[in-house]
Structure 1
Amino acid sequence: MIYYYKLENKILFSFHKHDGLNNISEKEARANKGNLYFLNKMDPMKSRRSFLVSDPSLLFINREGLRLLLLDDGDYSLNLPNWIIDRINNKSVISINTEYPNWQIALEEGPKDKWNVNTVALGDVGSTLLIGLRLLGGDCINRIGIYDRNENRSKRWLHEINQIRKTFNPKAFPPTEAITKKDLFNCHMLIFCASKGVPPVGSNIKDVRMIQFESNSEIIKEYARLARSSNFKGIFAVVSDPVDLLCKVAFLESNKDPDGNMDFKGLASNQIIGYGLGVMYGRACFYAEMSEDTLHFLEEGRIFGPHGEGLIVANSIKDYDEDISDYLTEKTLSANKVIRSFGFKPYVAPSLSSGALSIISTIKGEWFYGSSYMGGCYMGSKIRLIKGHIEVERLKLPAKLYERIKESYERLVTII
């Protein structure tokens, strides 16, 4: 049975009764042409506060996890009215988890116009990302706020970035302003680029990203707590390494009360997105272009997993080949070491591919590669943000590929 409700002019429906909500008829619900909100009940530690319902099967799940990647194209016409299925097909149904105490926030609509974005830390990555946003974000970014603990660094970039002008069109790029720490979360997206302890070029370290985990965890905890105290409702974008693990740290820390107990009153898991996979796609494309045997990746391939160990490059979804995929995965994972062998830190491509370009795609509602919450960990895949809610691409994945992805997923779940 389906129950229909109305709350603040929003139409809700559920398979469960919800005391305290205003009951309405199916006819009244159907007459409303706005978004529909489906109310579910799942453990908030293992599920998102809200997500876009991209196919009917997502209304019937009782837990979230890696199977979010698998397409279920079954016939649900006997379980749901056709008009609800039509709304799902039109990207107009959002699922909300009422086990989050502040679940009603998900009923609020996101920004309709250009976004205000703030960036934290202006080191190599943050400053390069800033350049990308300034040059490429004019049609979707209203303002860029910059913050760095080193005040002179903020002043430097305030001057430098605002002196980048297009001749005879001086206002073509979004204005940039220096902000204080208390204004960090006065925005639609907070971009976290802070990092500490990046190993110098020439150091013989197998996985640079994991070396940064402990120090960067302490930094992101501070900002996660600040997001909570600021009642931040936007996107908390994590660019610092290791991206996927830091996303989980931010989620956990933001949702602790003063006594350290989880109360889920901070950042919802779906508010946090990891931006590390865009460059892995870029690197895979770079190596795939070197041979006719791998060129098909550009049209048929996908990337899954974390930004680092556990990454899976799939040469093709429709014609998956383990050997070719393993080759592309190995080349992609070692690409940063190649740059280091030249005597340079590999930060330009990550800052632009994973950072600026993917962030702009997020704002525009375009597909990009990012890490989103899947039942206990942040897992990288093809996603997009529709009406302020994440849609995960769902595919008919080959069995062998899915097993590879599952191994990577289970490893991430056990780390934190």
Structure 2
Amino acid sequence: MYYYRYKGANLVSLTPLDGFGPPIAPVTAGRLYAPVPGDAVLGRGSFRVGHPGQLLAPHGLEVLDASRLTETEADGPTRAAIAEGRLTAVNTGRPGWEELLAAAPTPGKRRVNLLAIGDVGSTLLTGLKLLGGDVISSIGICDLSDQITARWEFEMGQVALPWDYDALPEVKIVSPEHIFDCDVFVFVASKGIPPVGSQVKDVRMAQFEANASIVKHYAKMAREARFRGLWCAVSDPVDPLAKTAYLESNRDESGTWDSKGLRPEQIQGFGLGVMNARAAYYAKRDERFSSFLSEGRSFGPHGTGLFIANSVEHYDEALSQELTHLTVTANLKMRELGFKPYVAPALSSGALSLLLTLRGEWHCGSVFLDGIYMGVKNRFTPAGIETELLPHIPDALFGHIRDAAQHLKEIL
């Protein structure tokens, strides 16, 4: 291994690096950064390293499966940094990557701003208000309708614990001009949701074109504001909208890519949480699927392309296919009952997953991987986003994960 001191940070590499000064002695404490090559657009920006092999294959789906990574020789200090969560891989192909060397997590509670307070937004807001007092300092709400924001500021202002009136985060109205004066931006805006009873089979994708135009507008605003917080895509279709935000924020006025917008790791899609919860719903009600509750996983987008594994340890293709079908079509069953399926998504994918994210805990969400936003188990750490590294993913299951990625690439 080769170690360097560069712009106040300690670097480590599997091979000698040019332009970083003379090598130094192995670094045994503190933050460590591993420069890795990668595409400026489709490569990951940065992430927490969980296996030496991820330094050789940092951007593809293989980072999810230790058995598919090349066994790489790494010295004791580097392996210790990996085990202790101190090693961050940084894509040097992306302009401005040096800024990450000086970045440091800021302590304290977060300011969260929600865009659009409709059915999903108001339910998500209620969840964050009731459960987020430990990690959220305030919740800003913004909507096209002043009447709606006035209503919810008034309602939420009257939700409080007796004699402990500061325990829950304050809710305040924010204007569009100040929507990015926050640490976490939550995109819940939506346009053209097919009504209950319509013949639209893929409700989520029917919303893509309309919602993408709204995302583009706010992506440009985030760029202009030099937003450095977390952008959360909750509206459907979650995963393509997350990528839309990433791509559009990094284009100048002429449409030329310049990498001056949101970094890929600044954006996460929040749609997998409810799919995982729906799978658990069925697993609790059918003994055949019970292994999912302790051994199962969910991968892929919020909708078509999703795949539910009944178990990663005792994988069963037929059971997984059946559980996946039940999960993907659960929203249609709610529509058959005559209701829009928004409460569970707003809470499981929205409020609960967002709170797990802010607490640095494992959750289901879409992170930038293989050039798309892929839903996986992940968490935010001081060293960056960490995706779960499983010891071995069965070939059949890994094939479904690849299919999900290909499906998302065909969309955007």
TM-score by length of 1: 0.95
Aligned residue number for residue 54 of structure 2: 58
Kindly state the Cα deviation for residue 103 of structure 1 after the two structures are TM-superposed: 1.2
Q: Contact 2:56/2:70 (CA < 8 Å) preserved in 1?
A: no
Aligned residue number for residue 45 of structure 1: 41
Kindly state the Cα deviation for residue 354 of structure 1 after the two structures are TM-superposed: 0.2
Distance in 2 between residues matched to 1:73 and 1:213, nearest whole Å? 34
Q: Does residue 301 in structure 1 map to residue 300 in structure 2?
A: no
Q: Which blocks of at least 5 consecutive residues in structure 2 are unaligned?
A: none
Q: How many correspondences in the alignment?
A: 409
Kindly state the Cα deviation for residue 342 of structure 1 after the two structures are TM-superposed: 1.5
Q: Contact 2:3/2:10 (CA < 8 Å) preserved in 1?
A: no
Kindly state the Cα deviation for residue 76 of structure 1 after the two structures are TM-superposed: 5.8
Distance in 1 between residues matched to 2:282 and 2:17, nearest whole Å? 54
Instruction: Choose from 361, 374, 399 the match for 1:403.
Output: 399
354-363 or 379-388, which deviates more? 379-388
The root-mean-square deviation of aligned C-alpha atoms, in Å, is 1.7
Aligned residue number for residue 150 of structure 2: 155
Aligned residue number for residue 346 of structure 1: 341
- Classify the secondary structure of the residue corresponding to 1:289: helix
Amino acid at match of 2:96: N
Instruction: Choose from 104, 112, 128 the match for 2:107.
Output: 112
**Aligned runs of 1:5-404 on 2, under 5 Å?**
5-8=5-8, 10-14=9-13, 15-19=15-19, 21=20, 23=22, 25-27=24-26, 29-30=27-28, 33-61=29-57, 64-72=59-67, 79-107=73-101, 108-387=103-382, 389-395=384-390, 396-404=392-400
1:18–1:124: structure 2 CA closer, same or farther, 3 Å change rule?
A: farther
- Classify the secondary structure of the residue corresponding to 1:26: coil
Amino acid at match of 2:43: S
Cα distance per residue 1:76-103 (max 9 Å; x no partner)? 67x3220111011011111111222221
Distance in 2 between residues matched to 1:24 and 1:67, nearest whole Å? 30
Q: Contact 1:111/1:188 (CA < 8 Å) preserved in 2?
A: no
Distance in 2 between residues matched to 1:92 and 1:113, nearest whole Å? 21
Distance in 2 between residues matched to 1:305 and 1:282, nearest whole Å? 14
Q: Contact 1:195/1:240 (CA < 8 Å) preserved in 2?
A: yes
Distance in 1 between residues matched to 2:175 and 2:22, nearest whole Å? 46
Cα distance per residue 1:246-298 (max 9 Å; x no partner)? 11111111111121111111111111100000000111111111122211211
Kindly state the Cα deviation for residue 72 of structure 1 after the two structures are TM-superposed: 4.3
1:234–1:18: structure 2 CA closer, same or farther, 3 Å change rule?
A: farther
Amino acid at match of 1:26: A
Kindly state the Cα deviation for residue 13 of structure 1 after the two structures are TM-superposed: 2.6
Q: Contact 2:62/2:68 (CA < 8 Å) preserved in 1?
A: no
Q: Which blocks of at least 5 consecutive residues in structure 1 are unaligned?
A: none
Q: Contact 1:6/1:23 (CA < 8 Å) preserved in 2?
A: no
Amino acid at match of 1:104: E
Amino acid at match of 2:5: Y
1:292–1:149: structure 2 CA closer, same or farther, 3 Å change rule?
A: same
TM-score by length of 2: 0.95
- Classify the secondary structure of the residue corresponding to 1:4: strand
Amino acid at match of 1:103: W
Q: Percent identity?
A: 43
- Classify the secondary structure of the residue corresponding to 2:399: helix
Distance in 2 between residues matched to 1:211 and 1:397, nearest whole Å? 33
Distance in 2 between residues matched to 1:388 and 1:352, nearest whole Å? 28
1:388–1:211: structure 2 CA closer, same or farther, 3 Å change rule?
A: farther
Distance in 2 between residues matched to 1:133 and 1:155, nearest whole Å? 18
Distance in 2 between residues matched to 1:22 and 1:142, nearest whole Å? 43
353-362 or 39-48, which deviates more? 39-48
1:313–1:99: structure 2 CA closer, same or farther, 3 Å change rule?
A: same
